[in-house]
Structure 1
Amino acid sequence: MPAYHSQFNDGDFQSIGNFFILPIKTKVRGNAPMADPSTEDIIDEALNLFRANCLFRNFEIKGNADRVLIYLILFISECLGKLAKSPSQGDAVKQLSTLAVTNFAIPGDATFPLNAMYSHPPDRGQADQLRIYIQQLRQEMAVRLVDRVYVDGKPSKWWMCFQKRKFMGLSL
């Protein structure tokens, strides 16, 4: 059974390196284009496909949107690891908000774990644009993940059972 791929692979979107700048539904400041509120964006797609895709050790990249999906799935895994230590929803929001804005590596940095799959931005200006976009993705993912994981103020066991799974054997 093959892994699930992004529906945005066929679209015509701006790209930095080989990382699409996809529209998202967000109130977080950043450079991402605004998505239609009635349609699914890449963050919704990553949340919906996370539990199925995190079981795969191999993932064939079929487009630049798959690279965004891979990054978001790995970020969700990192977030679930943080949520295992915070039993209350208020603490979870604080921890994930902090995690989303802490210093992180982007494609092309020496510490970025997926440099083999991603090309680095051609210049410093585009690298800064990519960093702003990824930070916006991380912040919006943190907000939506807490809403999805916490049911009645407690973390859902159907999400938390995936906290130790490593998608493709990788982590951010």
Structure 2
Amino acid sequence: MPAYHSTFLAEEDTNARIVGNIAVLPIKTRFKGPSLPCMDPYDIIDEVLDLFRANTFFKNFEIKGASDRTLIYGILFVSQCLDALNPSSSQNEAVKVLTNLSLEDFAIPGDIGFPLNALYLPPSNKNDAVFLRQYLTQFRQELASRLIQRLYTADSARPSKFWLAFGKKKFMNKSL
């Protein structure tokens, strides 16, 4: 059974900006950043959260386009978020931990510390690098915010054990 790919592959030709070889897709967000506002009810953040648990079981992933690279980055960030949480973390603690994690300094494609440099092209110039870092910061903030909403649907005192169990899995044997 093949892994689940991004549904935004068709939109790459029409309204997605490509930086390096990552698709900069519109996001429904309340955080400041360079992303275009998303008019659809379903965006790349929803897709990352919907496909995260199914795709974490795959060690191989055939990349079909730039949107898949955005999806991979999101899945790896969700794994990093789940690793940072304790099973006893309250919702307020999780907000603090994941907010700090999403805003901390991180490597982008082309940087020495980026774990997926073999799959990602670096930005072509300094302006694209700054733009990509701003977009990924906004992407990470929104993803962390929506992940918290999914983790604490039933109980605000403890995260869902069904989500935390997937934090131990390594998608493509990689981590950010």
TM exceeds 0.5? yes
Counterpart of 2:63 in structure 1: which amino acid?
Answer: I
* Structure 1 match to 2:2: 2
Residues 1-172 of structure 1 mapped to structure 2, 5 A cutoff: 1-11=1-11, 12=13, 13-36=16-39, 38-84=40-86, 87-150=89-152, 151-153=154-156, 154-172=158-176
Runs of at least 4 residues off by over 4 Å: none
Q: TM-score, normalised by structure 1?
A: 0.97
Kindly, what percent of the aligned residue pairs are identical? 54
CA distance in 1, matches of 2:113, 2:169: 22
Contact kept in structure 1, 2:27 and 2:45, CA below 8 Å = yes
Structure 2: tracts of 5 or more residues without a match: none
Larger helix proportion of the pair:
2
Query: Aligned partners of 2:167 and 2:3: how far apart in 1?
Result: 19
**2:33 touches 2:138 (CA, 8 Å); kept in 1?**
yes
Let me know the Cα RMSD of the aligned residues: 0.9
Shift of 1:84: 2.2
Amino acid in structure 1 at the alignment position of 2:34? N
Deviation (angstroms), 1:33: 0.6
